[in-house]
A and B are shown apart, each in its own frame.
Chain A
Amino acid sequence: MNPPSLSSTGLVGEHLCVRYHPRQPFVLDDVSLHIPPGKITAFIGPNGSGKSTLLKTLARQLPPEKGRVLLDGQNITALTPRKLAQRLGILFQENIAPADLTVEGLAYHGRYPHRRLFEALTPEDRNAVEEALRLAGITPLRQRKLSHLSSGQKQLAWIAMLLAQEPHYLFLDEPTTFLDLSHQFDVMDCLCRLNRQLGKTLVLVVHDLNLAARYADHILALRDGRIAAAGSPADVLTLDTLRRVFDVETRIVCDEEHHLRFCMPVGKTSSTSEAAS
């Protein structure tokens, strides 16, 4: 795997405006942000706040109407699709694949941006795939067909594809949403290792605030296409911010033994304030 490049200055979005149709309102409304390199950044926010749209815009999957995205100081529109894919990989929430594709076959697809038109598989390709399967912890499943895997194993197989791509920036859209608790830990621990051991920069869209609190170094809270708060978990996960972003009253509990913060929603802001009065 590539070591994090020294010139890595992170990902910067400047004044991004995105909408899906010229007659519709903006989904992202003049959003500027900085994704610090070598950290785990989490996007949180209610449904429709623009989290996924922001992720896709930063990965050049959606063209912004205004604004630009700088990858280590370089405008991403100046990169060819191949060059961009070598540096930035994105995994979507829902993925499709032929039923008979194997885990290993999927991982080899991750080598797509590294291969020329007629180029056969090189030893680097094979090494990258081996390493990706190992990091995702699914080497024993390599010959299994995707359609025969549990959803957690399937998600790890897709992560292996993303790793075989060897990008420095890894974007994941709700990587744990459909998984049970144990598989959520499998996936998140795997992602965490990638960050701590290999210095990868991760950007995750997450629904579960406690997952964000536990794993993220940096949190961006979105509301109605704008950034409502940004900073460390301790800065963002406050009663006031959560009320502003989600309209929800919460209790914040700190577990001193594991150095963990938990957000426990207790009710909608309006209903609880009525109850109080």
Chain B
Amino acid sequence: MATPKTPMRPMFWLIAGSLCIVFAAAFAQVAAGSYEMTYGQALASLTDPKVWSQPAALLRLLFGERLAEVCGLRETEPLATMTLIVWNVRLPRVLVGLMVGINLACAGSIFQAITRNELASPYLLGVSSGAGLAILLVLVVYPVLGPHLPLIAMLGGGAAFLLVYFIAWHHGTSPVRLVLAGVIVAAIAGSLQTAIFFLAKDINIMQNALAWTTGSLTGAGWEQVRMIAPWTVICAVLSLSGARHLDVLLLGDPTARALGMPVERARFLLAVTAIMASASSVAVAGLVGFVGLIVPHVVRNLVGSAHHRLLLGCMFAGPALLVSADAGARLAFRPVQVPVGIVTGVLGGVFFLYLMRRRREIGKL
């Protein structure tokens, strides 16, 4: 809730710090790689006047060739190789990482509020695994459905969430039951995911699927940007407008109901928002773990539990973690690229252990 005199200081530093990290990591991502270029050249390519002065060239990149043809955009002068690499390969990967960070962090905050459980996250509630299973099925068994990955992921994630709730429900849900049920559903979905590997006939598909289950932004391009961007915008707007309702839900269901909230409906709509956010990021980046758990924790410690501040903080801190982790994953062990999910998993796991040792009361909100 807006308390008019809350200090804005931590919020300011959180946003400023996150922006610095995002810009630094993004610039490193754009400049470094197997195609060598200096920072000056990278900057020159990013600001290439041929891109910026021709709206058609910019839109071609954003919309993709096919949609550009449909829209009747005219051909433009060819771009330099360096510009093409920056604009077609490296920049979209940063943008996808940015949006995946926003989605996972916001989804985590929402799940933590609607379950009143600090341990809740897209991963621990089985949503990611369910979405992942649905996507693997599509990749391996029905590849024709490829363009609809976000929707399919949402169906899978939604089904897993309902299943978790159903298993955990016993006169309401307790945090521990919910997490246990989430672990069970995630384990089942994980086994089924592995089983699907054996159905894959093509080794390429299998490698692709494997990279994907560890959470990877390798090969993320404008197609993935277009896939996730609408959902990021929708979910960001919906979650910020739900901030006040999330705050009231933290007072407990009876009090929320007494204040005139249709509790079940509100919780359902908020869960749908969080499922859309997490499933759409699973659709483009695979199973990137711990972001949805760690980022809300850190942000809550800095700016408090009021959701308009918490969610806003997550929208900056989430991308900071994901974009820098992806820069590390791509650049640290060159020429080998590690999936970003491994970096967030290790970082997040260690951080979570630290958090558990330091704060005994973890597990209750």
Contact = CB atoms under 8 A, between A and B. Distances in A.
Interface of A: 59, 61, 80-86, 89-92, 95-102, 104-106, 108-110, 112-113, 115, 117-118, 121, 143, 165
Given A108-B2, A112-B244, A98 B250 contact: yes
Nearest to A110: B259
Contacts of B261: 81, 112
B260 A109 contact: no
Contacts of B306: 101, 105
Nearest to B250: A98
A115 B2 CA distance: 13
B113 to A, nearest CB: 10
Given A100-B305, A104-B3, A121-B2, A109 B248 contact: yes
A154 B289 CA distance: 39
Contacts of B259: 85, 109-110, 112-113, 165
B251 A96 contact: yes
A143 B5 CA distance: 9
Given A82-B260, A108-B3, 12 more contacts: A89-B258, A92-B255, A98-B305, A98-B365, A100-B304, A101-B1, A105-B3, A108-B2, A109-B248, A112-B248, A113-B260, A165-B259
Nearest to A99: B305
Contacts of A96: 250-252, 255
The residue among B1, B247, B258 with the most chain A CB atoms within 10 A of its own CB is B258
A108 B257 CA distance: 16
Q: Which 7 A-B pairs have the closest CB atoms?
A: A85-B260, A113-B260, A82-B260, A98-B305, A112-B259, A108-B1, A105-B1
Nearest to B116: A96
B363 interface: no
Nearest to A79: B260
B262 interface: yes
A92 B260 CA distance: 15
Interface string B217-261: 000000000000000000000000100100110111011011111
Contacts of A84: 260
A229 B284 CA distance: 67
Contacts of A86: 260
A97 B258 contact: no
Nearest to B254: A92
A165 B255 CA distance: 12
A115 B252 contact: no
Nearest to A86: B260
B131 to A, nearest CB: 28
The residue among A89, A97, A118 with the most chain B CB atoms within 10 A of its own CB is A97
A237 B259 CA distance: 34
Contacts of A105: 1, 3, 306
A164 B248 CA distance: 14
A109 B258 contact: no
The residue among B250, B251, B306 with the most chain A CB atoms within 10 A of its own CB is B251
13 contacts: A61-B257, A80-B260, A85-B258, A95-B251, A95-B255, A98-B365, A100-B305, A101-B1, A105-B306, A109-B1, A118-B241, A121-B2, A143-B5
B272 to A, nearest CB: 16
Nearest to A107: B1
Nearest to B242: A117
Contacts of B252: 95-96
A115 B254 CA distance: 19
Contacts of B251: 95-97, 109
A61 B254 CA distance: 7
A97 to B, nearest CB: 6
B250 A97 contact: yes
